Amino acid sequence: MKTIYKSIFSCSLALLMLGSCTKFDDSINTDPNSPTKASGTQLIANAELFLPGISSSPYGVHYPQYLSNTSFSDNSRYVTVNFNFYGLYTGPLMNLENVINNANLDASEGPVANQIAVAKILKAYYFWHMTDRWGDLPYTEALKGDVNYSPKYDKQQVIYNALFTLLDEANAAFVTGAIKNDIVYGGDVAKWKKLGNTIHALMALRLSKVDATKGATEFNKAVTNGMMTANTDNLTYPHLADQNNENYWYNSFTRLGRNWFAVSKPVVDYMQPLNDPRLPVYANKPTNTAITTYVGLDYGLPGSTTVTIANYSLLGSNLRLQNSPVPLVTYAQQLFAMAEAAKIGWIAGGDVTALANYNNAVTESIRQWTGSTTGAATYLAQANVAYDPATALMKIGTQRWVHLFLHGYEGWAEWRRTGFPTFLAPPPANNGALIPRREAYGTQERSINATNYNAAVASLPYGGADDLNARVWWDKP
């Protein structure tokens, strides 16, 4: 109170005469509710929190038809067209950008070079995921805050090239020394380095239809730089038995009590006849005990159909525990990529190398999902599974689809690129809707970044409208 009166008295005269008593105690407009400092690894950790969302999506999971809806089938019938991408820029990407451009990172949290390299790998990973969903996106002018509130859209090719460069920079920058506050690898930068190169190779393979030369070059670069060597190198998001950090599917099934997701008929009908050891992980048997087999639910049923849930295989219980981990970038996927690269001549060895990598990929996939390789050899020995030079790409593509189960956006990208598996059909009686090949931009861009949005839509690489049917650059018709 005393100080208030003091300030009244001392200011009054000056105010009356000059109208200028403009000094306030510095503390009064300093926000006591928010920190003014954040360490690089705290920001990286926050960016990592968004990782499971790349896989755990009630939209992405439907495009490659991993899950079908038992109730409220709108998502499986593509009712949603426009998808907002702002959250990925303002969320993880802006945190990472802040680390990459920070001149004052604290070396006590691990070598500064490593902090920046990890941020660059995560940045590349998020942008890769995004450009595969939407195609052309703001990149070169993005994440610049008040420097540019209306960033232009860059061509997907430009973004891919920029991400290759970013991954090269990260690969070259790593030094010895763990970093702190790392949710996914516990600070092990050797694993980060391998992850960067695996992402590099998988991205390179995306170019197989559109620019094989560039793809092969980048692929080989990644192989040379050193990729994953075991499932323990996988990028897997570790959820916890903690409501603040729980698995998305746990929330949906258990927390909200919604048995809305069954494994789809194409998945079960492909896996069951082959006695796939992964099926008991992917799916539960129907709760109706009269049924003894796995039963996949027809994909994309009209909403007027009432599904008797007890008669179908819901998503496997172990994939929807509170702490079920979410695999994102895996050793097996890398092995499938190696097999395909060998088959199409990007790396040496032809069918021999392809076969070795393929068998390895299936075995490692079984190990990843079931915890052991039991049954892998028997499984691989079946004619419909065994590598065959004549149908190699089909086998690789279909097995990769099985391996990428639940990671909808990735499985969908590989389906778009390769066309495998061939047995996915659009939902029936759905106004002629085709399986989407792209997600449309969020509608906010039409008004608050209109010029750039319109320019992007006017130059979609293969024409079409801003909808689910236009194609991204690497998805050459």
Residues 411-450 interacting with other proteins (rule: CB under 8 A): 429, 431-432, 440, 442-450
Helix (H) or strand (E) holding 328, with range, is strand 326-329
Q: What angle do CA 142, 147, 149 make, to 5 degrees?
A: 60
Q: Does 181 bind other proteins (CB under 8 A)?
A: yes
Nearer to other proteins, 165 or 287 (CB): 287
* Per-residue binder mask for other proteins (CB under 8 A), 72-91, x = binder: --x----xxxxxxxxx-xxx
The nearest distance, CB 296 to other proteins, in angstroms, is: 19
Stretch that binds other proteins, among 28-36, 191-199, 415-423, 468-476 (CB under 8 A): 28-36
Smallest distance, Å, CB 216 to other proteins? 32
Separation CA 186–CA 191 (nearest Å)? 10
Pairing of strands 82-83, 440-441: parallel
Which residues within the stretch 366-395 sit at the binding site for other proteins (CB under 8 A)?
Answer: none
**Is residue 110 within the footprint of other proteins (CB under 8 A)?**
no
Under a CB-based contact definition with an 8 Å cutoff, are residues 130 and 85 in contact? yes
Report how far apart, in Å, the C-alpha atoms of 44 and of each of 55, 115, 155, 199, 413 are: 19, 8, 27, 18, 26
Tokens (6 digits) for 475: 């998805």
* Contact stretch for other proteins (CB under 8 A) within 193-201, 209-217, 227-235, 242-250: 242-250
What would the two tokens of residue 248 be?
Answer: 């998305």
Nearer of residues 131 and 398 to other proteins, judged by Cβ: 131
353 interacts with other proteins by CB under 8 A:
no
In this chain, which stretch among 139-147, 199-207, 383-391, 418-426 interacts with other proteins, using CB under 8 A? 139-147
Which residue of 240, 348, 425, 434 would you call a contact of other proteins, by CB under 8 A?
Answer: 240
Residue selected from 289, 293, 381, 390 as contacting other proteins according to rule CB under 8 A: 289
Omega before 421 within 30 of 0, i.e. cis: yes
The gap from C-alpha 26 to its chain's centroid, in whole angstroms, comes to 44
Closer Cβ to other proteins, 37 or 383, answer by number: 37
Distance, in Å, from the CA atom of 44 to the CA atom of 38, rounded to the nearest integer, reads 10
Decide: is 52 part of the binding site for other proteins (CB under 8 A). no
User: By CB under 8 A, is residue 107 in contact with other proteins?
Assistant: no
Query: Which of 192, 420 has the CB closer to other proteins?
Result: 192
The answer to the question of residue 474 lying near other proteins (CB under 8 A) is: no
Rounded (10°) CA dihedral 397, 226, 344, 375:
-40
Query: Using the rule CB under 8 A, which residue among 2, 35, 213, 390 binds other proteins?
Result: 35
Which residue in 165, 224, 243, 422 binds other proteins (CB under 8 A)? 243
Residues 6+ apart with CB under 8 A from 3: none
For residues 54-64, b (16+ Cβ closer than 10 Å) or e, as one string?
A: bbbbbbbbbbb
Q: Distance between CA atoms of 301 and 428, rounded to whole angstroms?
A: 7
* Angle between helix 156-173 and 112-134 (nearest 10): 160
Q: Which of 231, 245, 318, 469 binds other proteins (CB under 8 A)?
A: 245
Q: Which one of the spans 189-197, 305-313, 360-368, 456-464 is the region binding other proteins (CB under 8 A)? A: 305-313
8 binds other proteins, rule: CB under 8 A:
yes
Q: Does 3 bind other proteins (CB under 8 A)?
A: no
